[in-house]
Amino acid sequence: MSIPTIKVLGVSTTEQSASGFDKKVNPPSRLRLHGRVTIFNQDGSFDTVRVRLQGAIRTKIGSQVAVEKIPATSVTKTNLDFKPVYSATRQRTEEQYLDFVCAVPSPRNGAPEAFIPSMTLSGTTYLTKVTALTNRELLEGSCEVVYTLEAEFLRSETNQLVRRISCPVDISSSLTPLDVEVASSGASDKIEETAKPQLRSLNRLLGSQSHPELTVEVPKMLGCVVSDSSTVSTGCRRLTVPISVNISLPSNVRRQAQSLLESEQLKLSVKAQWFAKRTFTTGYSAVESTIHSDRVSTQNYAVTLPPLYKSSTQSSKYTTTVELDLLLPESISTPTISTDILNINYTLALNMKFEASGNDSLKSPFIASFSLPVALRASQAYSMISRRAFDPLLGFVEEQSLFAPPPYVY
């Protein structure tokens, strides 16, 4: 047998229920790595091939180093699983190949949708030295997540290792669809916030000292982060967040005011801020053994809400819905991570201002603010969503169809 080769074909997402791997050997995972082993002149020197995907987190701050292994996953094949390679010049060659699928490792005690992509982080901290002259020494630090794909050719009778080959693996998260969910312990599937009025001109219009109540509802499952043709040029990814706006009027308002409210449209201005907090450590308790890296990205967004309509259950309640298209910066490209030496967490802050249009008396802003700790996790295959398509004449147009992701995400 000549020197075999191993390579990565891609990574795909799959439903958890579709997993055919032994959970005792492979922790449940939502990502699958597809690879291929190629051999020439198989001579019967082996009868078993064991493929293993293993990863590690390596941190270094100054002279301190720490390594945290990511639980490995594996798959076992036999020499009978190899298939011949056919060429255009010859019907059959001495070359044979084996395609395999291996679960991408999840962090220890992590959820099936949790994964740690390949990455490199850097930062600095200070070491304070107390001597005759107190000074601060600048320490540089780095954090690296690496994966290796390894194939062992064995003789099962004697468990003899015939040959071992390996290659590095880049498990990227830039094209992997990610679910974004509010990390809240409450039982409700939505987050509700009551908006506060800035002025009382709206109350005078309604003929009452009590002001209407405006509430905003955001679902805990905010949506799915995807890359599509509309955001490729910017390097950003998009998240569509549905929100519901409800207005409850006091019972003693004039009917004329109710009719006026039905004909009005609300303008919504949103200031969206993404807070990314990255922390890596070498495991020691000293301050200089930890590096923090915080980033903030801001997006301003404005939209006119669809007309308010009366609730079918309450005559004095009006509601409408709208979708916010938020762009995620490069700093929000990786999933939420929580390990002993690496942590990445996110917070989404939404500051909303509602104003009525078309009537000077109704231009009394209502303010609602959300501070949402969010978790980003690998999405199931059927969750990938695209709402825009490119038309040569019209440009990017909206579409409402849902579709599954391609076999490989890169």
What are 178-191's pLDDT values in tens digits?
899 998 777 889 99
- The answer to whether residues 53 and 105 touch, using CB atoms and an 8 Å cutoff, is yes
User: From residue 228, how far is each of 235, 238, 329 by CA, in Å?
Assistant: 10, 8, 14
Query: Do 297 and 279 belong together in one domain?
Result: yes
- Among 17-26, 64-73, 332-341, 375-384, where is mean pLDDT lowest? 17-26
Q: How far is CA 188 from CA 98, 183, 220, 320, 364, in A?
A: 48, 12, 8, 20, 31
Residues 164 and 298 both lie in one domain: no
The sign of the torsion formed by the CA atoms of 20, 23, 29, 30 equals positive
pTM: 0.79
For residues 185 and 159, membership in a common domain is answered with no
Flag whether pLDDT at 225 surpasses 60. Answer: yes
Please check whether residues 140 and 192 belong to one and the same domain.
no
Across the range 258-285, mean pLDDT stands at 84
pLDDT at site 381: 56
95 is a domain residue = yes
Please report whether residue 217 resides in a domain.
Answer: yes
Is residue 405 one of the residues assigned to a domain? no
Neighbouring residues of 286: CB distance < 8 A, sequence distance ≥ 6: none
Q: Which of 99, 78, 101, 97 is CA-nearest to residue 39? A: 97
Q: Return the bridge partners of 170, or none.
A: none
Q: Among residues 336, 362, 361, which one has the least CA distance to residue 347?
A: 336
Same structural domain, 332 and 253: yes
For residue 300, pLDDT over 90 is answered with: yes
Has residue 161 been placed in a domain?
yes
- The three-class DSSP label of residue 259 is helix
- Per-residue H/E/C for 352-407: EEEEEECCHHHCCCEEEEEEEEEEEEECCHHHCECCEEEECCCEEEECCCECCCCC
| Residue 351 token pair | 């500051």
Q: Is a pLDDT exceeding 60 seen at residue 232?
A: no
Neighbouring CB atoms inside 10 A of 313's CB total: 6
Q: Are residues 264 and 188 in the same domain?
A: yes
Span of 10-14, 125-129, 317-321, 395-399 with lowest mean pLDDT: 395-399
Residue 58 sits in a domain whose CATH number is 2.60.40
Q: 69 and 145: one domain?
A: yes
Same domain, 146 and 78: yes
Q: Is residue 150 part of a domain?
A: yes
In a domain, 189, yes or no: yes
pLDDT higher for 235 or 395?
235
- Which class for 398: exposed (0-12), middle (13-18), buried (19 or more C-beta within 10 A)? exposed
- In a domain? residue 392: no
What's the structural domain count of the chain? 2
Let me know if residue 21 belongs to a domain: no
Distance in angstroms (rounded) separating the CA atoms of residues 98 and 160: 21
Output DSSP code: residue 30.
S
Are residues 224 and 402 in contact, defined by beta-carbon separation less than 8 angstroms?
no
The β-bridge partners of 144 are: 58, 120
Residues forming beta bridges with residue 101, ordered by sequence position: 34
**Residues 228 and 337 grouped into a single domain:** yes
CB-based contacts of 109: which residues, under 8 Å, 6+ apart?
A: none
Q: Using the 8-state DSSP alphabet, how is residue 305 labeled? A: P
Q: Are residues 182 and 259 in the same domain?
A: yes
Together in a domain, 187 and 277: yes
Per-residue pLDDT of 92-129, as tens digits, reads 668 899 999 999 988 876 666 678 999 999 999 988 77
Rounded mean pLDDT of the chain? 79
pLDDT confidence of residue 313: 64
Share of the chain residues as helix, strand and coil, in percent rounded to the nearest 5: 10, 55, 35
Domain enclosing residue 138, as ranges: 5-15+26-169
Whether residue 251 sits in one domain with residue 214: yes
pLDDT classification of 41: cutoffs 50, 70, 90: confident
What sign does the CA torsion over 296, 302, 307, 308 have?
A: positive
With a cut of 90, say whether residue 51 has pLDDT above it. yes
SS3 281: strand
